[in-house]
Structure 1
Amino acid sequence: MKEFQPISVRGAIGTYRGAFTAIFVISAFVNLLMLTGPIFMLQVYDRVLASNSVPTLLGLAGIALMLYFVGGLLDILRLRALTRIAMRVYSRLSGPAFRANMKMPLIAGRRAAGVSPYRDVEAIRRFLGSPGPAAICDLPFMPAYFLIIFVFHPWLGMLAVAGGIFIACLVVTNEFLSRKPSKNLSESSGLQSTLISSTRRNADVITAMGMGDSLSNRYSGAVEQHYQRQQAVSDHSNLFSSVIKMLRLMLQSAMLGLGAYLVIQQEVTAGVMIAASIIMARALAPIEQAVSHWPSFVASRQAAGRLDETFKACAEAGDTAGLPMPKSTLRVEGLATAAPGEQDLFLQGVDFELNAGDGLGVVGPSGSGKSSLARALVGIWPSLAGSVRLDGATLDQWSLTERGRFIGYLPQDVELFEGTVAENICRFAAEPDIEAILQAAEAASIHHMIAGLPEGYQTQIGEAGTLLSAGQRQRLGLARALYGNPFLLVLDEPNSNLDTVGERALTDAMNAARARGGIVIVIAHRPSALAAVNKTLMIQNGAQVQFGDRDEMLRKVVPAQRSTAQHRSKIDAV
């Protein structure tokens, strides 16, 4: 099983190859029926006017009307089919894009700020559902129109081919000149999205500290930059679109003028003159339509390239199928880690082993690397050296979903999701275990608190749990970490927002986890968090300093800290 199945944009679109073939066949009939107008004009000028036959005119008009109707229906069918294909491709890519969106920050770190797989999928959907693909399907039929004009007269055909070649050169030029502006536009759009999401996520901090005006000015600057890039892309597209439209009209008039000359020379009929002009306009129309949709096409192509790179970066090596859940040991061997996408080590030289039922308290000054260790232990940050092994197997030998069955994690900043209390506790499982939810709530000692909410476990907590206090969010996060009785429980500053009752409940939960054979690791600044552990690890300056029995280490560390404090007070007195 792979967490990210190998997928590519080309593969997703290629799944509907048969549908695109059908659209191409429909396009062939649409282009054939587009000859209805020129042929009708040809017959009117050369047959009806020559014979003064009203019945002939009525018969030709009836046939033309029927063909126009059929052509219109086929064109509607083609556009409807493209819309449905676009939604199918969107549906096929949206799941992998959503998962990649979650994983990219853990792979590229801060460099993932401008990467938005979901926005790229939307760009592909917009193009596939637009008339742009239909115009592209019409392009291969241009030579057929030129051939018909050649049949009318070689001079007319040469004029049509020369005009088509010149316009094609403009299209190629437009392609090369539009790449960089379109890429810049996509980047500025990503910056805007990142700023919007971050300000929404931190609205309380922004409001409390009066940062709204500053961030609003920053956003205005981003909008101005995006506006300038959007204007550059639009001006570029409009320039080529207008030039090609002007050339098409000029060529149509030139075809009419050359046809008139040939009529005067009695080399073609007046009907041929009119028909050639109309066919010329129809032959060049797909180019004009394609150019008008060119920015969307370029954005879609660039989005497809980014998506393929993102999917490739997020693809995981195959895990070991059938690997049992760990239940005995945690072994950390020479671990070194850094933030995703970075090479500067935040932590190195960590080496310890814990057995089932052990509890480890990780202590040290702020910024020493304690949270970095917690992230590495649960697989959020990469192991740049050494390894984290559970029962001898490294974390990457399980899929992310399987890891979730034996890992519980409570970060410093508890992030809850919009939904019910029960959904947040069970980690939004598709088939939640009600008994396991109640058990986790009881273990975190929040069952009575939840029962007192307006709708109990079905209470909606709002975006990021805004309807709960900081302490309630932390205890709800603890219940989420305890859901399913995980073997490895990692708690990062779990008592930072807890009162005395909450700290007692935390200690009871940690003791219960150890009693059932789990391993508990707690990052702590306050000594009360160490009441439920039997071992202690000290980290300073991004490196392991000591590891051993809790009581023995505290006997060594506390006197040393007191001695240091007394020494400092003497210096201050002097």
Structure 2
Amino acid sequence: MKKTPFFERSELARALWEFRREFLWAGSLSFLANLLMLAPTLYMLQIFDRVLASQSELTLLAVSLITLLLFMALALSEWLRSRVLVRASLRFDRQLSTRVFHGSFQACLGQSGPMRSRPFADLNHIRQFSTGPAVFALFDAPWTPIYIAVIFFLHPWLGVLSLGFALVQAALAWFGQRQTVAPAEDVLKAAGETMSDLQGKLRNVEVLESMGMVANLQRRWNRQHAACMEKSALAQGTVSRLAGWSKFIRYSQQSLALGAGALLVIDGQLSPGAMVAANVLMGRALAPIDQLVGTWRGFATCRSAFQRLEKLLADFPGQAHVPSRAAPTGTISLQGVSAGASGREVPILKNVSFTVPAGTVVAVLGPSGSGKSTLAKVMVGIWNTSAGAVLLDGVPIRNWNRLELGPHLGYLPQDVELFGGSIAENIARLGHIDSRKVIEAATSAGMHETILRFPKGYDTLIGDAGNLLSGGQRQRIGLARAIYGNPSLIVLDEPNANLDDAGEAALLYAIRQLKARGKTVFVVTHRQGAVALADRVMVLRDGELTADGPRDAVLVASFRRPQPAVQTAALVQSA
């Protein structure tokens, strides 16, 4: 089977390949820097073999000035190399950060919980690795055989000694890679799972404290943390052993090279200057290999980050250019839609089909776990379907430009999530604040007078996730956000779950207004008032649409049909 070239393997690989010119420049500057690294060796040879022999101060001055100029060129080439790589890494981040953001965002759709930050950490690992010492070691490694060749030129036995140490260091690097990659990945995975689990539990800190669950949580965390620390200790022990062996080999090389050179000087086969120069060259030749041994953990982390990021971008490709369309009227159609969740074999929705014309108010009823919330997410295009199609104005909802479609959709989830910032910013969907539209939406949701009583009115900061507001206030601000800008399709999932009588009245007033404007409204509810405003009622049971039609006809038929007591009670409350 023909192997796919690296630069064609994935989107991430192609992005890296676009920086080949920068890496070529860095390689050229590395060539110059390593060539100039020979200057100290040549200077020593001149000092020991020419200056000391001739006792010439002028020769010493000339050699020193030339060497100083070479050192300045060396420093400049290394600075330019680092600058090229840093600029390339920043451009790489700008090029991929938006894609990583959208890929992470798409990965979280259909999952419970906030967007994970791991992909951004992976991108940062790759960016930092591309400007770190490991990359410089890779650029310097090809010079190892050149330095060894120069040592052979000084004396064959010193060349054989340097070659032997190079092979030992390379074997140690290969062994280190084999021994450290898997443990390092296990540690990162265990640490991530432990922290994620703890953060998830701490979101419900009030429940933990009020019911005395903190001690139980601590014992659970202690077990996970201890297991993570054990894996970390094993991994660190392996790295420490490798570093110890590497240090032993490095010190042995320095001493044995100097001893071997001294023996050759005693035998008259080598000059003192060549002895010192060979020792310096040998240390320089083995330095890149020694650096590679010390950075294997960075290699392992970067490789894992690259593979995770590569998979993320492959699983969630960027949206192709979607042509602009006219604003939707709100006609929505589901054709044989089935939808499920990862890790669940039985689908949540099963072959659901219906068509709702624009301007219709629909009440969605059904017992808990029947798939009502999933249906709401499917209709606004944030839950993947395994079969069927969701059409908005006859066009699959996936074929709409999400940025253009968003203002024409309104969605209030069952668990209302607000964002840090002001009340006005939340109602205006974190975009440009149109004061008239914000006040209009707040008035429709019955929150205008309440907001004006806050210390700074609409500019009042609500805290992280709106934690400075009550549950009912959060729900009504979420309702105002859903109807902001007069959208064509509004989906409200249990919009009155936290509302008092005044809030319920405001919700019904908002639904009446939307109905009068000819908007399509879906209300997932069990309360009588919202059902009374509906033109049409849908009943879901076990993910199947068991009833759909005009409100009165569906409710009458549901009462006549034999059904479990719990479901009957829910419909009685609705009626």
Same fold (TM over 0.5): yes
Sort the Cα spacing of 1:295 and 1:277 in 2 relative to 1 into closer, same or farther, 3 A.
Answer: same
Sort the Cα spacing of 1:11 and 1:435 in 2 relative to 1 into closer, same or farther, 3 A.
Answer: farther
Is the Cα–Cα contact under 8 Å of residues 413 and 493 in structure 2 kept in the other structure? yes
Is the Cα–Cα contact under 8 Å of residues 114 and 190 in structure 1 kept in the other structure? no
Distance 1:241 1:77 in 2: 30
Give 1:295 deviation, angstroms. 0.7
Distance 1:37 1:279 in 2: 9
Count of aligned pairs = 560
Sort the Cα spacing of 1:114 and 1:101 in 2 relative to 1 into closer, same or farther, 3 A.
Answer: closer
Mapped pair 1:127 → 2:129: yes
Look up the match of 1:21.
24
Q: Counterpart of 1:157 in structure 2: which amino acid?
A: G
Alignment of 1:431-510 (within 5 A): 431-510=432-511
Aligned pair partner of 2:413 in 387, 407, 411: 411
- Cα RMSD of the aligned pairs, angstroms, is 2.8
Is the Cα–Cα contact under 8 Å of residues 369 and 539 in structure 1 kept in the other structure? yes
Give 1:493 deviation, angstroms. 0.5
Is the Cα–Cα contact under 8 Å of residues 536 and 550 in structure 1 kept in the other structure? yes
Give 1:55 deviation, angstroms. 4.0
Distance 1:562 1:141 in 2: 81
Look up the match of 1:571.
none
Look up the match of 2:209.
207
Distance 2:91 2:322 in 1: 32
Look up the match of 1:92.
95
Sort the Cα spacing of 1:80 and 1:218 in 2 relative to 1 into closer, same or farther, 3 A.
Answer: farther
Aligned pair partner of 1:329 in 328, 331, 348: 331
Distance 1:220 1:129 in 2: 37
Give 1:178 deviation, angstroms. 2.4
Mapped pair 1:36 → 2:31: no
Percent same amino acid among aligned pairs?
Answer: 37
Gaps of 5+ in 1: 1-5, 569-574
Sort the Cα spacing of 1:10 and 1:287 in 2 relative to 1 into closer, same or farther, 3 A.
Answer: same
Is the Cα–Cα contact under 8 Å of residues 166 and 289 in structure 2 kept in the other structure? no
Gaps of 5+ in 2: 1-8, 570-575
Give 1:105 deviation, angstroms. 2.5
Look up the match of 2:223.
221
Distance 1:88 1:279 in 2: 36
Mapped pair 1:104 → 2:107: yes
Is the Cα–Cα contact under 8 Å of residues 330 and 489 in structure 2 kept in the other structure? no
Is the Cα–Cα contact under 8 Å of residues 364 and 370 in structure 1 kept in the other structure? yes
Is the Cα–Cα contact under 8 Å of residues 417 and 424 in structure 1 kept in the other structure? yes
Distance 1:494 1:64 in 2: 78
Mapped pair 1:145 → 2:147: yes
Look up the match of 2:5.
none
Look up the match of 2:543.
542
Q: Per the alignment, in what secondary structure is the counterpart of residue 215 of structure 1? A: helix
TM-score normalised according to structure 2 size? 0.90
Is the Cα–Cα contact under 8 Å of residues 24 and 137 in structure 1 kept in the other structure? yes
Sort the Cα spacing of 1:145 and 1:225 in 2 relative to 1 into closer, same or farther, 3 A.
Answer: same
Give 1:560 deviation, angstroms. 6.3
Q: Counterpart of 2:496 in structure 1: which amino acid?
A: N
Look up the match of 2:573.
none
Look up the match of 1:396.
398
Distance 1:198 1:113 in 2: 12
Which range moves more in the overlay, 38-47 or 414-423?
A: 38-47
Sort the Cα spacing of 1:563 and 1:292 in 2 relative to 1 into closer, same or farther, 3 A.
Answer: closer
Sort the Cα spacing of 1:120 and 1:369 in 2 relative to 1 into closer, same or farther, 3 A.
Answer: same
Aligned pair partner of 1:386 in 385, 388, 392: 388
Distance 2:318 2:428 in 1: 25
Aligned pair partner of 1:71 in 59, 71, 74: 74
Aligned pair partner of 2:63 in 53, 60, 68: 60
Distance 1:465 1:421 in 2: 9
Distance 1:394 1:49 in 2: 86
Distance 1:317 1:124 in 2: 24
Is the Cα–Cα contact under 8 Å of residues 241 and 288 in structure 1 kept in the other structure? no
Distance 2:478 2:10 in 1: 34
Distance 2:463 2:562 in 1: 44
Q: Counterpart of 1:44 in structure 2: which amino acid?
A: I
Q: Per the alignment, in what secondary structure is the counterpart of residue 355 of structure 2? A: strand
Sort the Cα spacing of 1:493 and 1:564 in 2 relative to 1 into closer, same or farther, 3 A.
Answer: closer
Q: Per the alignment, in what secondary structure is the counterpart of residue 407 of structure 2? A: coil
Is the Cα–Cα contact under 8 Å of residues 99 and 318 in structure 2 kept in the other structure? no
Look up the match of 2:180.
178
Look up the match of 1:261.
263
Is the Cα–Cα contact under 8 Å of residues 104 and 115 in structure 2 kept in the other structure? no
Distance 2:59 2:79 in 1: 30
Give 1:407 deviation, angstroms. 1.8
Sort the Cα spacing of 1:562 and 1:205 in 2 relative to 1 into closer, same or farther, 3 A.
Answer: same
Aligned pair partner of 1:368 in 367, 370, 383: 370
Give 1:366 deviation, angstroms. 1.5
Q: Per the alignment, in what secondary structure is the counterpart of residue 323 of structure 2? A: coil
Is the Cα–Cα contact under 8 Å of residues 84 and 129 in structure 1 kept in the other structure? no
Q: Counterpart of 2:443 in structure 1: which amino acid?
A: E
Look up the match of 1:232.
234
Q: Per the alignment, in what secondary structure is the counterpart of residue 326 of structure 1? A: coil
Distance 1:516 1:300 in 2: 55
Is the Cα–Cα contact under 8 Å of residues 323 and 401 in structure 2 kept in the other structure? no
Distance 1:419 1:23 in 2: 45
Give 1:135 deviation, angstroms. 1.8
TM-score normalised according to structure 1 size? 0.90
Look up the match of 1:527.
528
Is the Cα–Cα contact under 8 Å of residues 411 and 491 in structure 2 kept in the other structure? yes
Is the Cα–Cα contact under 8 Å of residues 319 and 397 in structure 1 kept in the other structure? no
Give 1:546 deviation, angstroms. 0.9
